[in-house]
A and B are shown apart, each in its own frame.
Chain A
Amino acid sequence: MHWTHTLQNILALAVKEFLALLRDKRSRIVLIGPPIAQLLVFGYAATFDLDNVPVAVYNEDGGGAGRELISRLIGSPHFELVAELDRDADIAPLIDRREALLVLHLGQRFSADLEQGRSAAVQAILDGRNSNTALIAVNYLRGIVMEYNRDRAGRTGIGKPPAVLEVGAWYNENLRSRWFIVPGIVGLLTLVVTLIVTALSVAREREQGTFDQLLVTPLRPVEILIGKAVPGIVIGVLEASFIILLAAFWFDVPLRGSIGALYLGLFLFLLSAVGIGLMISAICVTQQQAVLGAFLFLVPAVILSGFATPIANMPEAVQYLTYVDPLRYFLVVVRGVFLEGDGYALLQHQYWPMAIIGLVSLAIAGWLFRQRMY
């Protein structure tokens, strides 16, 4: 068969796929509604940064040094004073009822100790029901105490530490959670949309009985496969570009690296997403099953991708499992290009695993198509 003929066949099928997708009201809903809702919800709600943490102060000291430390705490945008206590017994109910996440306790000798050049202790009690939130709050507090110490040592000349930390962060200089989460959404939503679109494509034809008709046309299975894959990739590129634009211009995440490296990663990622989508589609008989199948793949794929919780923190056995998750690699690419300013060279080890996952899954999908022919 001549190659122009093959090209024509693929093109015809791809055009038909696009029309089927865009004419169906439900598919249009999937393409537009959920991604926008998720982008807004994730973009604004999914942040590990804390604001207005409710704090209570139990100040037994009353001295000037203690008051200064407390005013620094309240002055911080991260904390908000909700109560001033005067009894030890009031601490527990406040924490228990979640009225305060943190209670800061200054003992009676706090200022006196400091005046005499001794080291003074300050106690913080935290609600550990969400231990991550508690740890972040401790870090904010520690920063305030360190700054206080430095200023005080500078003023009095007493208690200068012999060595000081000078901490700086690369790539995300102010450690903004949003800069980490929003580029991740590019990968997440692109995967969701592409997977559902492709998972539905064969299942829809199966349900309507047109897949058998497609198989008796002169199109070869490979051509069917490519024709079915093209719309998924095109829609994925459009969707991803839209979210990349929003990330850069609406959420103001810096886009520092090579756009070409980002799109090469995107293409390989879409190849693997389409491959997996078609695999699911080839197994399922109804659209209902296809959507559920996609969902069953998506939930673990997102959890294991490093989207919100780092892969390095997972046990080793689970880390091996993440190697078959294409989102894992693409998240490195998209964050690398956005924040770290990466080019092709630094991302090469992310490219080839996605290419392999894509080719293998497409091959399996093609094989499954053929199995269904007879």
Chain B
Amino acid sequence: MNARQATRLRLCGMVRKESLQILRDPSSIAVAFVLPVVLLFLFGYGVSLDARDIPLGIVIEQADAATQSLAGSFEHSKYFIPRYYRRIQEAETALERRDIEGIVWLRNNFTRRLFTGDEAPIAVRLNGVDSNQANLTQGYIQGVWQGWLTRYARARGKPLGNPVELEYRVWFNQAVTSRLFLVPGLIAIIMTLIGSMLTAMVIAREWERGTMEAVMVTPLRTRELLAGKLIPYFVLGMGGMLFTVALAVWQFDVPLRGSFWVLALSGAVFMLVSLAVGLLISIVSKNQFVAGQIAIVVTFLPAFILSGFIFDIGSMPAPIQVLTHVVPARYFVTILQTLFLAGDVWPILWRNIAALFVLLFIFGALVRKKTHMRLD
């Protein structure tokens, strides 16, 4: 048996042992299979940032043709479900009780001022607690108001009042559906879960139990040991990615406008970075409990909050923006959103893939240094 065959044999044995270890441990199954499916279900069908059917109180103090037509505009909007009140006090009570999200108040002099061209006021009160939704609601109300003004002017044969008309187009996602960016971003989260969290905890357990040292005294070389340990997680992570991509495209109707092979390549690099981080955490903590905690705080949460998955990085305070540069998910989320929605935009792709390679190099070097020290 020559050296190469021996290496292959040892590696195969190691991979087999690791794979069995994952499959036999219920907690690994939970992290590797259950949690990704739950996340996909929640993000694919559940959460959405797109408001619809907003309960809106409309106070009409004096009903007539003008107020009816304005109320009808809200009725026809897909964003609102109007509820009518005769007096503002009733509507305010409903707003306090969270029965409605906002009030549109037409006072009894509305129609008179409308006819005299006296800028008839439409008072709008919003529940501002959820500021993001309040902002969107305000935008939808403005849209309804603009549409009504246009129709009103046209019906009276007058030119439209507004000096400047804003027209906007949202590229890559014309219908402005939040699912189209939430589902691709989720791939980064799921791969982080498998690559960093699961790996950190399972390998930390070996340090804790001392089986890592036991394996080290076998003829296995360090490189073979690490490769054998990581290959099963790599396969698992890539499998998770393929599964998510398939669901995204076929189940959730997210377009994949870029090249699949670029996606697979960048996914593989991201997976390697995640594994290096997971390995590093396990070596530093050497204890599964601490490893789990560290993994949640330094990998899982940043992948959610600091990656641009939901929150815009450019709007964060400067020190936190600097911090996001060491979050691997930041680069991968950018790649994912670009590949899925925009296509192969090479200036973005190569820069972010290069950044992932740099992180891989740094974390890889750290892992090598740390494992080396253990062996001495």
A interface list, Cβ under 8 A from B? 26, 29-30, 33-34, 37-38, 41-42, 44-54, 69, 95-98, 114, 118-136, 138-139, 141-142, 145-146, 148-149, 152-153, 158-173, 175-177, 179-180, 287-289, 291-292, 295-296, 299-300, 303-304, 308-310, 312-315, 318, 332, 335, 339-340, 346
- The residue of chain A having its C-beta at the shortest distance from the C-beta of B26 within the complex is A289
Cα A200 to Cα B279 in complex, Å, equals 25
Cα A127 to Cα B167 in complex, Å, equals 15
Known: A97-B348, A139-B139, A175-B128. 14 other contacts (CB 8 A): A29-B293, A34-B297, A45-B305, A45-B306, A48-B311, A119-B160, A152-B164, A171-B129, A175-B131, A289-B26, A300-B38, A309-B49, A310-B51, A313-B47
- The residue of chain B having its C-beta at the shortest distance from the C-beta of A311 within the complex is B47
Question: Would A124 and B34 be within 8 Å (CB), given that A50-B312, A313-B49 are in contact?
Answer: no
B362 CB within 8 Å of chain A: no
The answer to whether B164 and A145 have CB atoms under 8 Å apart is yes
The answer to whether A132 and B342 have CB atoms under 8 Å apart is no
Cα A264 to Cα B7 in complex, Å, equals 64
Question: Would A149 and B163 be within 8 Å (CB), given that A125-B168, A172-B129, A313-B47 are in contact?
Answer: yes
- The residue of chain B having its C-beta at the shortest distance from the C-beta of A125 within the complex is B169
Which of the segments B15-23, B119-127, B221-229, B264-272 contacts the partner chain? Answer: B119-127
- The residue of chain B having its C-beta at the shortest distance from the C-beta of A38 within the complex is B301
Question: Would A161 and B162 be within 8 Å (CB), given that A50-B312, A296-B34 are in contact?
Answer: yes
B63 CB within 8 Å of chain A: no
Cα A95 to Cα B180 in complex, Å, equals 18
Contacting A30 at CB < 8 Å: which of B53, B120, B293? Answer: B293
- The residue of chain B having its C-beta at the shortest distance from the C-beta of A322 within the complex is B46
B166 CB within 8 Å of chain A: yes
What are 27 pairs between A and B in contact, CB < 8 Å? A34-B293, A42-B305, A46-B305, A48-B132, A48-B311, A96-B348, A119-B164, A124-B167, A131-B176, A141-B166, A142-B142, A159-B163, A160-B117, A162-B149, A169-B128, A170-B126, A172-B129, A175-B131, A287-B289, A288-B201, A291-B292, A291-B293, A299-B39, A314-B47, A315-B46, A340-B96, A346-B96
B114 CB within 8 Å of chain A: yes
Cα A319 to Cα B149 in complex, Å, equals 36
Question: Would A164 and B289 be within 8 Å (CB), given that A47-B315, A145-B166 are in contact?
Answer: no
Cα A47 to Cα B305 in complex, Å, equals 10
Contacting B348 at CB < 8 Å: which of A98, A132, A172, A288? Answer: A98
Cα A341 to Cα B114 in complex, Å, equals 36
Cα A2 to Cα B133 in complex, Å, equals 55
Q: Which of B85-139 contact A (CB under 8 A)?
A: 95-98, 101, 110, 114, 117, 119-136, 138-139
Cα A315 to Cα B179 in complex, Å, equals 13
In the assembled complex, which residues on chain B have CB atoms less than 8 Å from the CB atom of A95?
171
Q: Which of B296-311 contact A (CB under 8 A)?
A: 296-297, 301-302, 305-306, 308, 310-311
A216–chain B nearest beta-carbon distance, Å: 28
Question: Would A41 and B163 be within 8 Å (CB), given that A47-B316, A128-B173 are in contact?
Answer: no
Cα A38 to Cα B304 in complex, Å, equals 12
Contacting B48 at CB < 8 Å: which of A44, A300, A314, A332? Answer: A314
Question: Would A177 and B132 be within 8 Å (CB), given that A128-B170, A166-B124, A308-B310 are in contact?
Answer: yes
B78 CB within 8 Å of chain A: no
The answer to whether B312 and A133 have CB atoms under 8 Å apart is yes
In the assembled complex, which residues on chain B have CB atoms less than 8 Å from the CB atom of A162?
114, 117, 119-120, 149, 152-153, 161
B177 CB within 8 Å of chain A: yes
The answer to whether B297 and A38 have CB atoms under 8 Å apart is yes
In the assembled complex, which residues on chain A have CB atoms less than 8 Å from the CB atom of B342?
96, 129
Contacting A300 at CB < 8 Å: which of B42, B124, B139, B163? Answer: B42
B181–chain A nearest beta-carbon distance, Å: 5
- The residue of chain A having its C-beta at the shortest distance from the C-beta of B104 within the complex is A165
B244 CB within 8 Å of chain A: no
